[in-house]
């Protein structure tokens, strides 16, 4: 009995001690795990914040770098000697405007200033604007005949003064149907996005009901055609001197270089000719009229298959016969312009003797013969130009008008070839130095 009682007492004491003693090792291990979890969460959160901070810093630096490049690009626009560097910054565009409810819209093109969407027009201190028909009617004095600058199949161009005093060329399009609407939309789209000192600036447009008008930079000396092939109404124009012709050739080459090799996607003008080359107050050339232009993003197997449109005498043979359009088609048209600058002749002239009706057919065999080159030169240039320079320009023209497109050069190569020739002549803003002067250059 006493033994059993002692044993029971011993068991109770042992059980009491077991319940009273806390499991110290277990609680210690649990606290350690909790501390490690918190520490891991803190490290993960800190790392995430650091990564986000690095990402935003990189993003800000890239934007600052891009803004700096754009600022340099804009500064380069104002210098003739450095303007070739403008093309290093590609122009990117992805959409075309649509006409809805009588007003051009689409993307960021709409009523009011388009400066934020399309880049500001630094020359005029504003972006592309939308005008009403009444505003343009007032600017041209009711589209008066005395304000007509020129006309053609596309419509009529008027000289106008906008409400802020800006003198502008107001182009009223007469094309009807889908082709006319397409030409209008393309020209607004391209000129509002492409900015180069070698392209005519688009100041604004009007899509009021059925009216389609373009408001363009005013070029005081009109088209190159007026000076090379003056009609009776422009008979007061004196022949351009050789130095001015070289400068015009270089400006045109740089315009096509910009369109072909620095715009993204590339642009084919498709109607490059004398009447679409305009001259400013200093006789610097700019290219206009992009209604027939094509973007190279539309090409298949390196070529664009399209309807043959353009002007007889300027069309590349492969394009005229098959409708296959490439940038080399513009190079051919440029070669025709060089021939016009050299010879003073129009591309097609049925009044010429047999064998001389088509300029390129008559000129091509003579371009590589030094003596015959001198014979084919514009009579207005004889005695006032360098024989060496004539031969060099003739060689460039011969390459551009090759029947095989692959043999024609890139416009970058053409521009680089013309730069040293153009720089041999002083570029002056004085009109008196823009015409024939016996002391201009060595006799040819």
The residues carrying an active-site annotation are 271
User: Residue 103 has which token pair?
Assistant: 């007003």
**DSSP character for 261?**
I
Whether the CB-CB separation of 182 and 172 falls below 8 Å is answered with no
359-368 long-range contacts (CB < 8 A, ≥24 apart) are 359/313, 360/313, 360/335, 360/336, 360/401, 363/339, 363/397, 363/401, 364/398, 364/401, 367/394, 367/395, 367/397, 367/398, 368/394, 368/395, 368/398
Could you tell me if 358 and 313 are in contact, meaning their C-beta atoms sit under 8 angstroms apart?
yes
Rg (CA), the chain: 35
Q: Is the dihedral of CA 318, 324, 325, 328 positive or negative?
A: negative
In contact, 223 and 277? CB cutoff 8 Å: yes
The runs of H, that is alpha helices, within 258-283 are: none
Residue the block writes with tokens 């024609």 = 408
Residue 191: closest CA among 136, 278, 269, 261: 269
Going by C-alpha positions, the residue among 215, 218, 217, 193 that lies closest to residue 133 is 215
| 184 close to 214: Cβ distance less than 8 angstroms | yes
Strand partners, 170: 158, 215
Q: Among residues 351, 344, 376, which one has the least CA distance to residue 237?
A: 344
Report how far Cα 97 is from the mean position of its chain's Cα atoms.
17
Instruction: Give the span between the Cα atoms of 229 and 246, in whole angstroms.
Output: 17
DSSP state of 441: S
Question: What end-to-end distance do the CA atoms of the chain give, in Å?
Answer: 148
Distance CA 197, CA 81 (A): 12
Q: Which of 343, 383, 382 is nearest to 363 (CA)?
A: 343
């Amino acid at each position: 009995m006493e033994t059993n009682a002692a044993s029971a007492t011993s068991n109770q004491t042992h059980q009491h001690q077991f319940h009273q003693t806390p499991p110290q090792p277990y609680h210690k291990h649990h606290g350690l795990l909790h501390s490690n979890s918190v520490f891991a969460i803190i490290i993960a959160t800190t790392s995430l914040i650091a990564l986000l901070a690095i990402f935003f810093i990189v993003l800000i630096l890239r934007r600052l770098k891009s803004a700096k490049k754009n600022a340099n690009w804009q500064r380069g626009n104002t210098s003739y000697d450095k303007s070739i560097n403008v093309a290093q910054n590609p122009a990117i565009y992805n959409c075309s405007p649509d006409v809805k409810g009588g007003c051009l819209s689409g993307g960021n093109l709409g009523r009011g200033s388009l400066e934020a969407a399309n880049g500001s027009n630094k020359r005029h201190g504003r972006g592309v604007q939308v005008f009403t028909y009444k505003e343009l009617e007032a600017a041209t004095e009711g589209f008066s005949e005395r304000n007509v600058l020129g006309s053609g199949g596309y419509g009529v161009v008027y000289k106008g003064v906008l409400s802020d005093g800006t003198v502008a060329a107001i182009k009223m399009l007469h094309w009807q149907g889908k082709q006319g609407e397409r030409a209008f939309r393309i020209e607004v789209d391209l000129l509002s996005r492409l900015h180069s000192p070698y392209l005519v600036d688009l100041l604004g447009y009007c899509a009021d009901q059925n009216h389609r008008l373009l408001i363009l930079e005013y070029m005081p000396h009109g088209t190159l055609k007026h000076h090379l092939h003056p009609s009776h109404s422009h008979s007061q124009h004196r022949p351009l001197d050789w130095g001015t012709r070289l400068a015009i050739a270089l400006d045109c080459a740089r315009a096509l270089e910009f369109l072909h090799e620095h715009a993204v996607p590339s642009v084919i003008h498709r109607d490059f000719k004398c009447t679409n080359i305009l001259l400013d107050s200093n006789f610097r050339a700019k290219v206009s009229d992009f209604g027939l232009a094509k973007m190279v993003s539309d090409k298949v197997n390196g070529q664009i298959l399209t309807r043959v449109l353009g002007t007889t005498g300027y069309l590349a043979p492969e394009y005229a016969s098959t409708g296959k359009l490439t940038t080399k088609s513009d190079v051919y048209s440029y070669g025709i312009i060089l021939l016009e600058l050299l010879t003073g002749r129009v591309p097609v002239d049925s009044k010429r003797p047999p064998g001389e009706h088509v300029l390129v057919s008559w000129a091509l065999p003579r371009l590589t013969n030094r003596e015959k080159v001198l014979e084919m030169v514009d009579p207005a240039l004889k005695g006032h130009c360098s024989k060496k320079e004539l031969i060099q320009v003739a060689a460039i023209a011969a390459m551009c008008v090759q029947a095989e497109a692959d043999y024609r050069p890139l416009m970058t190569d053409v521009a680089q070839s013309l730069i040293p020739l153009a720089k041999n002549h002083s570029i002056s803003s004085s009109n008196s130095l823009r015409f024939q002067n016996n002391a201009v250059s060595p006799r040819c």
